[in-house]
């Protein structure tokens, strides 16, 4: 067993394991002794002929490689496992311990598929940063046990002995919330920059992005004019409103991410969250630099800014209902201390049916995330709630269902009240 995997062991019995079946999480823990606990739900429906396995990707010191490998692992498992084998997202974590989450997959096969599955897992454990366990009924035929594999053997081998699997309570918040800070959301230029810099060796485009970054993090000038950010889900009317505000106020309109990043955006959208979110976070610092420049001459309207970066990242990292999000007031929703704060942030909200109607009428192709927003009601609700929970500055919600002109008038009122324009 590698030294990284060994480092997970001392608190192995304090870890909680989560397996997501059809979008719902099932939790279990492991114990050295059995005290008459029930069989966890994940194993209750497993037949005796079935065999289950877990593959967890532990964090090596190279976070970039780990993040890339996690994405590639799913493709590899889907490609190489027998088609009858069922693959579910899995994680393991220490409750309330930050950065303790390790992610992976839970595999369910049967006696016909166990040989090819075990061959694949044996190969993985010898070449990749994974910790493999298998699960089988205990001698009494009632309980289930977890056996940790050793990388030196190409067959199942328990380290010390097997552990009993027992049910565990659901944590207060989704386990992914433990690892959000500086993996999904970055709270300083340096943290996001560090990720992009480390990407330079494996993603040539990262070097081009680094060259576009401002030399100073603080906006070069403090704008004399108000800076207004317009936020909202796709097709809530941001483009329509920002164009009108530009004309009405004689303002400068800045899109976000900034135009200079457009050539690289599609490339970074394919990357795992760590890299993709670092790209968007850095985009905000470029925007802040541009705001500093333009805001000395005219008011500035910005189409999306940090609220979007954080809200989409948090809502993607966490799955399930809104109550799985980090609680209101969590540090996850804090504004980065080194990022320019706009004078006003307006969040446009729209009834989902009307939003779909506008999307249909607009008739453009949809990005993967727009598809997700369309089909996954829970994702949409999580993004909107995360928007509302972000503070410093918090956003002011405006109902975007009236006519474009009415929405404009409503937002102008807000701007005049808040920014004395």
Ligand X SMILES: Nc1ncnc2c1ncn2[C@@H]1O[C@H](COP(=O)(O)OP(=O)(O)OP(=O)(O)O)[C@@H](O)[C@H]1O
Stretch that binds ligand X, among 77-85, 153-161, 358-366, 387-395 (CB under 6 A): 358-366
- The vertex-147 CA angle with 143 and 151, nearest 5°, equals 170
User: How far is the CA of 310 from the CAs of 89, 259, 281, 314, 397, in angstroms?
Assistant: 23, 20, 8, 6, 17
- Residue (of 161, 162, 218, 150) closest to 190 by Cα position: 218
User: Minimum CB separation from ligand LCLUPRNS for residue 70, in Å?
Assistant: 19
Question: Which of residues 136, 290, 309, 319 is near ligand LCLUPRNS by CB under 6 A?
Answer: 309
Local structure of 78: helix, strand or coil: helix
State the Cα–Cα distance between residues 14 and 251, nearest whole angstrom: 56
Residue 144 found at the interface with ligand LCLUPRNS (CB under 6 A): no
User: Minimum CB separation from ligand LCLUPRNS for residue 30, in Å?
Assistant: 37
51: Cα within 13 Å, side-chain hemisphere: 15
User: Minimum CB separation from ligand X for residue 274, in Å?
Assistant: 24
Site size with ligand LCLUPRNS, rule: CB under 6 A = 13
Question: Which of residues 27, 105, 193, 305 is near ligand LCLUPRNS by CB under 6 A?
Answer: 305
Residue 242 found at the interface with ligand LCLUPRNS (CB under 6 A): no
Contact partner, 361, from ligand X, ligand LCLUPRNS, none, Cβ < 5-8 Å per class: ligand X
User: Minimum CB separation from ligand LCLUPRNS for residue 47, in Å?
Assistant: 41
Question: Closest CB to ligand X among 239 and 298?
Answer: 239
Question: Which of residues 136, 284, 319, 343 is near ligand LCLUPRNS by CB under 6 A?
Answer: 284
User: How far is the CA of 216 from the CAs of 60, 183, 190, 221, 254, in angstroms?
Assistant: 31, 23, 11, 11, 20
Structure token pair of residue 107: 């595999």
User: Minimum CB separation from ligand X for residue 371, in Å?
Assistant: 12
Neighbours of 98 (CB within 10 A): 12
The DSSP output letter for 391 is B
Residue showing the smallest CB distance to ligand LCLUPRNS in the complex: 280
Residue 356 found at the interface with ligand X (CB under 6 A): no
Helix (H) or strand (E) holding 274: helix 273-294
- The residue assigned the tokens 């993967």 is 368
Residues 237-276 that bind ligand X (CB under 6 A): 237-240
User: Minimum CB separation from ligand X for residue 339, in Å?
Assistant: 21
Residue 308 found at the interface with ligand LCLUPRNS (CB under 6 A): yes
Contact partner, 257, from ligand X, ligand LCLUPRNS, none, Cβ < 5-8 Å per class: ligand LCLUPRNS
Question: Which of residues 235, 315, 339, 411 is near ligand X by CB under 6 A?
Answer: 235
Contact partner, 309, from ligand LCLUPRNS, ligand X, none, Cβ < 5-8 Å per class: ligand LCLUPRNS
196 contact partners, CB below 8 Å, separation of at least 6: 206, 209, 210, 275, 278, 279, 282
The DSSP output letter for 231 is E
State the Cα–Cα distance between residues 209 and 194, nearest whole angstrom: 12
Q: Torsions phi, psi of 410, nearest 5? A: -60, -45
State the Cα–Cα distance between residues 87 and 20, nearest whole angstrom: 10
Residue 280 found at the interface with ligand LCLUPRNS (CB under 6 A): yes
Q: What is the dihedral of CA 183, 186, 191, 193, to 10 degrees?
A: 100
Site string for ligand X, 371-410 (x = CB under 6 A): -----------------------------x--xx--x---
Neighbours of 417 (CB within 10 A): 11
Interface residue list for ligand LCLUPRNS (CB under 6 A):
234, 256-257, 280, 283-284, 304-305, 308-309, 312, 367, 369
Which residues sit at the interface with ligand X, rule CB under 6 A? Answer: 232, 234-240, 358, 361-362, 400, 403-404, 407
């Amino acid at each position: 067993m590698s030294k990284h995997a060994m480092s997970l062991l001392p608190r192995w019995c304090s870890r909680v394991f989560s397996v997501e079946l059809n979008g719902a999480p099932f939790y279990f823990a492991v114990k050295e002794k059995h005290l008459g606990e029930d069989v966890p739900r994940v194993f209750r429906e497993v037949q005796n002929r079935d065999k289950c396995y877990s593959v967890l990707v532990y964090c090596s010191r190279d976070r970039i490689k780990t993040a890339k490998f996690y994405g590639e692992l799913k493709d590899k498992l889907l490609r190489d496992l027998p088609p009858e084998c069922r693959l579910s997202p899995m994680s393991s974590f220490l409750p309330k311990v930050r950065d303790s989450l390790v992610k992976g997959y839970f595999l369910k096969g049967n006696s016909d598929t166990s040989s090819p599955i075990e061959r694949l897992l044996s190969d993985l454990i010898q070449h990749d940063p994974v910790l493999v366990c298998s699960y089988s009924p205990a001698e009494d035929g009632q309980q289930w046990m977890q056996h940790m594999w050793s990388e030196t053997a190409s067959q199942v081998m328990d380290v010390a002995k097997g552990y009993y699997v027992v049910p565990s309570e659901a944590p207060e918040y989704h386990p992914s919330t433990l690892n959000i800070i500086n993996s999904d959301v970055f709270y300083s230029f340096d943290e996001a920059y560090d990720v992009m810099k480390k990407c330079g060796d494996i993603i040539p485009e990262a070097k081009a992005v680094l060259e576009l970054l401002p030399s100073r993090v603080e906006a070069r000038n403090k704008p004399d004019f108000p800076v207004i950010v317009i936020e909202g889900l796709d097709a809530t009317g941001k483009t329509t409103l920002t164009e009108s505000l530009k004309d009405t106020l004689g303002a400068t309109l800045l899109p976000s991410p900034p135009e200079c990043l457009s050539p690289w955006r599609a490339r970074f959208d394919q990357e795992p969250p760590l890299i993709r979110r670092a790209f968007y976070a850095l985009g905000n610092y470029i925007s802040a630099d541009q705001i500093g420049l333009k805001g000395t001459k005219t008011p500035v309207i910005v189409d999306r800014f940090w609220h979007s970066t954080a809200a989409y990242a948090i809502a993607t990292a966490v799955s399930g209902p809104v109550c799985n999000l980090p609680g209101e007031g969590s540090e996850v929703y804090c504004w980065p201390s080194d990022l320019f704060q706009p004078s006003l942030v307006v969040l446009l909200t729209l009834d989902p049916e009307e939003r779909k109607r506008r999307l249909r009428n607009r008739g453009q192709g949809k990005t993967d995330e727009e598809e997700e927003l369309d089909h996954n009601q829970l994702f949409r609700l999580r993004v909107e709630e995360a928007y509302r929970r972000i503070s410093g500055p918090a956003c002011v919600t405006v109902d975007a269902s009236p006519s474009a002109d009415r929405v404009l008038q409503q937002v102008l009122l807000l701007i005049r009240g808040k920014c004395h324009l």
